[in-house]
Amino acid sequence: MIRSIALLAAMLVVTAAPSATAQTAVQTGPLAGLPTDSAAAFVDHMETERGEPPATARARFALAEDLEARGDLADPRAHAAFLATRRHLFAGFDDPRQAYRDAPLPIGWGQTISAPHMVGRMTSVLAVEPGHRVLEIGTGSGYQAAILAWLTPSVYSIEIVAPLAARTAALFERLIAGGLETYGRVSLRTGDGYYGWPEAAPFDRIIVTAAIDHIPPPLIEQLAVGGIMVIPVGPPGAQVLLEVRKSRTADGDMIVERRDVYRGRALVSFVPFTGGPRP
């Protein structure tokens, strides 16, 4: 039996600098050694260790600082993954004034790459830990999947627009061949994300990057007990960004809890979910 109730616990938004313990947690896996508290050190690291031009690294660090101050990058590991991910490679702009604006950008076929503040907020709410299995519905440009790949080795992403899926898969192949082996952690599939990826389930985290008027039941089924889903739900142009948690009661009933991430202070606008059951 599955019951649905409102989630009462409020999200803790952290705007202060991470503690020493949090910093230690950040410096693990492929993020080890990435400077996160000094612009000069970060830009130098990205230039000398990863061959990135200083202009884009500097612009990304400044954007991350702004998002942290606004509460959109509230998780230290999400902050580090955001810094490690070169948005310009996925947005198609080498010019940092374009790639690192806090705004969505068109990527063709009526789709967009989400605004950085939304990516930061959703990634922070997910609170992905090493070893978590993560499902993304709506690969798009691959930017969100790339951020997730820095956090866990098990990222599964589904895109319904076949030519976009093919272009993004080719991009990942080029980036991996160019030395970004971390992106080999992303498994891609072309198909209808409404039905999830059942053979890879259950998932500790699910992120949906397209808006729908309800939470797809297959995704609820594939969310692990104790897992978190982030999904925009509502009509076009005025969705609520929901945090969905799944748990089990002492008598064995499943509970699905929902909470508005913005607690009624803001609506969001995502491209529409185009899959799902047909009439």
Position 251 pLDDT exceeds 60: yes
- Would you state the pLDDT for residue 32? 93
Helix or strand or coil: residue 109? coil
In the structure, what pLDDT confidence band is assigned to residue 279 with cuts at 50, 70 and 90? Answer: low
CA 152/CA 150 separation, integer angstroms? 6
φ, ψ at 128 (rounded to 5°): -70, 130
For residue 5, the model assigns a pLDDT of 39
Residue range 164-180: mean pLDDT, rounded: 97
- What single string gives the DSSP state of each residue in 63-77? HHHHHHHTTSS-SHH
How much is the pLDDT for 224? 98
Which of 114, 124, 141, 154 is catalytic? The answer is 114
Q: Is the pLDDT at 159 greater than 60, yes or no?
A: yes
Please name each of the domains of the chain with its CATH number.
2-260 (3.40.50.150)
pLDDT for 25: 44
Q: What rounded mean pLDDT belongs to the chain?
A: 90
Q: What is the pLDDT of residue 146?
A: 98
Q: Which of 26 and 246 is assigned the larger pLDDT? A: 246
Half-sphere exposure of 268 (CA within 13 A, CB side): 27
Q: Where are the beta strands (DSSP E) in the chain?
A: 2-6, 105-108, 111-113, 133-137, 154-159, 186-190, 203-208, 223-233, 240-248, 254-260
Q: What percent of the chain has pLDDT over 70?
A: 90
Calpha distance 3→7 (Å, rounded):
12
Check pLDDT > 70 for residue 20: no
Query: Bridge-partner residues for 106, per DSSP?
Result: 112
pLDDT digits (tens, 9 = 90+) for 41-76: 999 999 999 999 999 999 999 999 999 999 999 999
Q: How far is it, in rounded angstroms, from Cα 94 to Cα 172?
A: 17
Give the pLDDT mean for 25-48. 90
Strand partners, 240: 233
Is-catalytic flag, 187?
no
Over residues 71-111, the pLDDT tens digits come to 999 999 999 999 999 999 999 888 888 999 999 999 999 99
Fill in the DSSP letter of residue 212.
Answer: B
Helix (H) or strand (E) holding 171, with range, is helix 162-177
